[in-house]
A and B are shown apart, each in its own frame.
Chain A
Amino acid sequence: MRMKTTRRTMLAVSAGVVMAFAASGPSLGQDKVTLSFLVDNAPSTVAISEALAAAYEAKNPNIKIEVESRPGGGDGDNIIKTRLATGEMADVFLYNSGSLFQAINPTQNLVDLTDETFQANTLDSFKSVVTANGRVYGAPIGTAMGGGVLYNRKIYDELGLSVPMTWDEFLANNDAVKASGKTAVIQSFGATWTSQLFVLGDYFNVQAAEPSFADDYTNNKAKYATTPAALRGFQIQAEVQAKGYLNEDYVAATFEEALGMLARGEGAHYPMLTFAIGSIATDYPEAVSDIGFFAVPGPSADSNGLTVWMPAGLYIPANSENVDEAKAFLNFVATVEGCDIQTAAIGATGPYLVKGCDLPDDVNNVVADMLPYFAADGRTAPALEFLSPIKGPQLEHILVEVGSGFRSPEDGAALYDQDVTKQALQLGIAGW
């Protein structure tokens, strides 16, 4: 209902714009400022970005926003870094918070947003992951996410399975799904970034066993290969392949194909971030209610919890020609109104990081499955990339190898430790 009124107002407003143009002639057109807006190409990100741009244009007839998309993963990192370095960055761009944000040299490349009005309504937990040298450089877009396993509830109902609390229960469920002739675990190494969830999403279990891991890791004291709790992520990545749970084309499948398999009920589990439900809502709206979510199960049911990702941030490059207009746009996005536009575009995908943004009562099952983790104390932990500035760039390729059985988990973890060393040296972190 609310959506309808919004759309009607938007129509009215845009009609008004057209009339204003017709009346005043071309002189108004010359004052129009075009903001370029670079986002990643996940269907859900494109959908919310276009919805925000359209709503903002409707309210500000002198602004035109051009949404431009880029790939995710390593290719995306490359585009962001190169465009920043060459001064070709869009006026506003979307990029990860946390360690990847630290790697783009924010103090030099980005406009300081500490004193913008929207910061008063932004939750501190988000501000901390877009802060460098005590200044805040980002505005929140999208919602906090959980990293774990998306599952098909229809398959669970048919086979009488229940949500696993331990890794052994997860294996038992997989055996049952496999016996029924369906794919137990979907992997999509055609999009290499999707290979990382069993390792990155296992961080809750790592910190439950080794509470000081993040600090020790940052200070060159703890390694993946020699910390059993951290090595476990590499081992479970190998185990699901070794046990024959994976889809036939796991080496070549893409993110979108994997979502299709899950939505159509061809596969039961897909290790992924919860934001993917937004992409399912865009591409397979009829299947949204069939999809549920649980955290990566640990060794014991006593410590079962969720690894949480902060949403991406919106940033303004220091050399933008339209800094004021860009700031005004961020001040629009990071508001309750901005949240509502995003929810209207793809549904609620998780908790927003803007104060006062409540979720609608009828959230989808993925979000409903995620909220209990937030409700209890000690059942969530931020992903390692929000606790340490160091994330090795080759993790996704190493995990493709480990997850395809070409390389042993121990070997993969040791290799990743070397990769981490390179990143730490590049960032100039003390103690490496």
Chain B
Amino acid sequence: MAQGLVATTSASSARKSGNRIGASHYYPTWFFMPAAIIYGVLFLVPTFASLYFSLTRWTLFEAEFIGLQNFAQFFKEPFLVKGLINTVVFGVTTSSLKVVLGLLLAVLLTSPRILARDYLRAVVFFPVLVSTIGVGITFTVLMHPTTGAINETLMMFGLPKVGWLTNPNMALISVALVDVWKGVGLATVIYIAGIASISPEYYEASRVDGASSVQSFFNITLPLVRPATVTVIILSLIGGLRSFDIIWAMTRGGPGFASDVIASVIYKQYQAGFYGLSTAGNVVLFVVVAAIIVPLSTFLNRREIEA
């Protein structure tokens, strides 16, 4: 608290004195050069180069300028529409499941009545630390249609086998569920922090007024963790929309093209040696993600201020 105060005071005094000239006043130009060079070489140059190459037929050895043909071709791509829909389905499914499950787990794990709370918190977070490819390969084995552990367990209970990754209607959802298992720990941790910052006085007051636990969840916890919800939605939606590694590890966009997302459609163009086309695809992906996230983030943040 005291530290926070100090920081606020010094920040506001800095704002007062340096308002007109800005922070650059304090450092000589050469001081910015290392960061500027890194930024230029690693970010600016590739960004503009990719814009250029997206307008060429590129073999990595030579590039022939062909105008907007790549974009025309990319939008004609038979699996693009399917990939776009899948991308949105995957992003929304994983993001909403992470919000719901993350919040429920956080409520459970902040409960004072639970045993070994710290240990259980670590367990929920553990899948986040494991390599995505490793998780993907492990679940591919578990979800094998005939010899996978999941189907063998189902059969033990007399249930039919499920083509988790081999039924074209199931594949994307199966991968999404695995992604939720792997990513829910991060959402939980964010929510735990959010819940922990709610003052216990609200709960005490509501109990005095005779509120049930369901009422206090919906009227106290849910509104007061809004900042955490915004963070979880934005992070997991961005992650979901550009998700590639888990899908490639588990289905390679298959069976056939059933679980292709934009990122895997782009990767396949790259794999086939259509480098200009796949660069054009990346430009499109960038625009799509920005077009979804920027308005969403503005909307959620505005609501937060109003609330």
Interface members, chain B 242-288 (any A CB < 8 Å): 252-258, 268, 270-274, 277
Q: Determine if A426 is an interface residue (Cβ-Cβ < 8 Å).
A: yes
B148-173 residues with Cβ-Cβ distance < 8 A to A are 163, 165-166, 168
In the bound complex, residues from chain A placing their C-beta under 8 Å from that of B274 are: 422, 426
In the complex, what residues of B have CB within 8 A of residue A398's CB? 256
**Distance A252 CA – B272 CA, assembled complex (angstroms):** 23
Give the CA-CA distance A103 to B257 in the complex, in Å: 24
C-beta contact mask, A281-322 vs B, less than 8 Å → 1, else 0?
A: 000000000000000000000000000000000000000000
What is the 8 Å Cβ interface bit string for chain A, positions 410-430, against chain B (1 contact, 0 not)?
A: 000001001000110110100
- Bound-state CA distance A426–B253 (Å) is 23
* Identity of the chain B residue whose Cβ is nearest the Cβ of A79 in the assembled complex: B271
Q: DSSP majority for the B interface?
A: loop
Contact across chains for A78 and B166 when beta carbons are under 8 A apart = no
Q: Which residues of B contact A74 (CB under 8 A)?
A: 268, 271-272
> For B255, what are the chain A residues with a Cβ–Cβ distance below 8 Å?
189, 251, 400-401, 404, 406
Q: Shortest beta-carbon distance, A85 to chain B, in Å?
A: 4
B226 within 8 A of A: no
Q: Nearest 3 pairs between A and B by C-beta?
A: A401-B256, A393-B272, A85-B60
Contact of A400 with B271 in the complex, beta carbons under 8 Å:
no
* A182 close to B (CB within 8 Å): no
Contacts of A418 in B (CB 8 A): 76, 78
Q: How far is the CB of B280 from chain A (nearest CB, A)?
A: 12
- Proximity bits, A35-64, B CB within 8 Å = 1, else 0: 000000000000000000000000000000
The bracket for how many chain B residues form the interface is 20 to 34
Nearest CB of chain B from residue A200's CB, rounded to whole Å? 17
Among the listed A192, A251, A415, which residue makes an inter-chain contact with B252, where contact means beta carbons less than 8 Å apart? A192
B145 touches A397 (CB 8 A): no
A192 x B78 contact (CB < 8 A): no
Binding site for B on A (CB under 8 A): 74-75, 77-78, 81, 85, 103, 105, 108-109, 189, 192, 248-249, 251-252, 393-394, 397-398, 400-401, 404, 406-407, 415, 418, 422-423, 425-426, 428
Q: Is the CB of B273 within 8 A of A249?
A: no
Minimum CB–CB distance from B77 to chain A (whole Å) comes to 9
B213 within 8 A of A: no
Contacts of B268 in A (CB 8 A): 74, 393-394
CA gap between A248 and B57 in the complex, in Å: 43
A105-B59, A252-B145 known; A75+B271 contact, CB < 8 A: yes
Question: What residue in chain A is nearest B58 (Cβ atoms)?
Answer: A426
Q: Please give the distance in Å from B43's CB to the nearest CB on chain A.
A: 20
Given A105-B59, A428-B57, A407 contacting B78 (CB threshold 8 A): no
Please list 12 pairs of residues, one from A and one from B, whose beta carbons are closer than 8 Å in the complex, sorted by A's number.
A105-B59, A105-B61, A192-B254, A249-B146, A252-B166, A393-B273, A394-B268, A398-B256, A400-B256, A401-B255, A401-B256, A404-B256
For the complex, is B219 an interface residue (Cβ under 8 Å from A)?
no
- A415: chain B residues at CB < 8 Å are 78
B237 to chain A, nearest CB (A): 28
Q: How far is the CB of B54 from chain A (nearest CB, A)?
A: 15
The interface residues of chain B lying within 8 Å CB-to-CB of A251 are 145, 163, 166, 255
